Amino acid sequence: MSPQGDPNQMPTVHLADDQAAAAALDQAEQAAQARQAGGNFAQWLKIPGPQGQTKWDSSVPVGFEGYADVFICPPWDATARIPFVEKVTHWYMSSANPKGKMLGCTDDDNTCLFCQARKLALASLDPAIQKAAKDWGRKRRQHLYNVIDLTNPPSHYGQDGIMRSFLFGAGPNCQSSLKRMFDTRGGINNFCNPQNGRPVRITKKKTGPENINVEWGAIDLDPMAIDRYFWGALSNLWNLREQSTVASQSDCLDAIRELNWPVPGGQAPNSYNPDPAPPYGTPYGGQQGMPPAAPQGAVYTPPQGSLPPPPQGMMTQGQGVPPPPPAGVNQGTPPPMNPPPVSSAPPPPPGQYGGGAGDPPF
C-alpha cells in the first residue's frame, strides 16, 4: 500500500477532546482580554505630554517638561534582595514588524546571535544593509523598577479590578541620578520603605523635534508613608527577573532574516566583505594582491613593461615567492576588484527607540 493509504477507505482519524479544547479556548480568551485590559501584562510608567500624548513626537513642543511623582517599590520577594534589575535589549523595525520589536540581549557579543549579526552587517558592502545595522540593533541598557504613580492613582487598576505596580526603566543618565540620591540619603531603603520612604519626581523634557530628543531626570522629595490606597499595588509587584529575559535563538534568527543581515556561522550574502580590500591597487586583480595560481611546471617570463622591477632587497623568484603565471597562458578573466552590490529592500526609517528611560517604544 502506498504511503497515501487506500484512496477507497476512510483513514484513521483522532477526534479532539471537547473538554480539553474548551479549557484551552477559555484560557486563550482570558489571555486576550487581560492583554487588552492590561490585566496580567506589565504596564510601563508613562509621562504624558501637554495634550496627554504618550509618544513624545513632534506634537510635543520643544522645551516642554512633564513629570510623575513615583514611589520606588521594595523587592518583589525575599529572594530578590534589591529592588531593580539591569535589562539589555535590542530594538529594530522591519516590514514584518513595522511597529518595532524588542529582543533581550545577553550583553555578551560572544553569545548574542543578534550582536554577531549586526557586526557582520556593519562590514557589509551593501549600503542598505550597512545603514540598517547603523539604524537598528544598538544595545539599550536600562534598570527596571517597580513603581507606584502617586500623580495618577486610578491608573493602577485594570479592567480585571486588580491593582498592580508600573514598570519604570531608568536609562544610564537617570540611573546615575538615582544612585547619587541613594548614596546621599543613606541607602536605597530610605526610598523604598513604605512607612517612611522618599518619593522621587521623574522628569521628562523635550529637547528636539525627534522622538528620541528627550532628557530624563530624577529629584528626591520629602519622606512620607505611602497611602493605604496603594497597598494593593504593593501586594502585586512584578517579578523583574521575568521582565528581563533573553531572546531565543529562533527570535534572533527571525530578526536577522527580516533585516537581510548575514547569519553568523551561515552563508553570508554576496555583499558581505569579511576582509576589506587593501587601500592600494593590485596589478594582479586578485584578492589582497595575491597573484592567481600558475599551472604546474610553468616557467614565468614577465612581459615587457608589465610590472616594475622589485626594489633592492625584495625577495624574488626562488626565494620563497610563488612564481607568477607564464606569459601567454590564458588564466581567464580576473575577478573584479569589488563584487557588484546586491540589491536589498531599504529598511524602514528609525523609530523612537533610543529615547529616555521609562518610555519603551511599544
pLDDT, tens only, 285-302: 344 444 444 444 444 444
List C-alpha distances in Å: 25 to 15, 16, 41, 58.
17, 13, 19, 43
Residue 101 has pLDDT above 70, yes or no: yes
Span 183-212, mean pLDDT?
Answer: 94
Residue 282 has pLDDT above 70, yes or no: no
pLDDT value, residue 161: 87
Q: What percent of the chain has pLDDT over 70?
A: 67
Q: Take residue 33 and report the three cell numbers written for it.
A: 482580554
Q: Using 50, 70 and 90 to split pLDDT, how confident is the model at 176? A: very high
Residue type (1 letter), 362: F
pLDDT value, residue 46: 92
Residue 284 has pLDDT above 90, yes or no: no
Could you tell me which of 244, 245, 251, 242 has the C-alpha nearest to residue 40?
242
Q: What would the DSSP string read from start to end of 167-226?
A: EEEE-HHHHHHHHHHHHHTTSTHHHH-TTTBPPEEEEEEE-SSSTT-EEEEEEE---BPP
Beta-bridge partner residues of 334 = none
Residue 351 has pLDDT above 90, yes or no: no
Q: Using 50, 70 and 90 to split pLDDT, how confident is the model at 212? A: confident
Distance CA 152, CA 37 (A): 17
Instruction: Choose the weakest-confidence range: 95-104, 148-157, 190-199, 298-307.
Output: 298-307
Greater model confidence, 153 or 347: 153
Q: What is the DSSP letter of 71?
A: E
Distance CA 308, CA 286 (A): 18
Greater model confidence, 322 or 126: 126
Which residues lie below 8 Å from residue 40, measured CB to CB, with a gap of 6+? 31, 34, 160
81: left (phi over 0), alpha (psi -120 to 50) or beta: left
pLDDT value, residue 29: 59
Residue 106 has pLDDT above 90, yes or no: yes
Q: Using 50, 70 and 90 to split pLDDT, how confident is the model at 178? A: very high
Q: Take residue 325 and report the three cell numbers written for it.
A: 603565471
Sorted by where each starts, the structural domains of the chain and their CATH numbers stand as 44-258 (3.90.198.10)
Residue 341 has pLDDT above 50, yes or no: no
The H helix count followed by the E strand count for the chain is 7, 7
Residue 279 has pLDDT above 60, yes or no: no
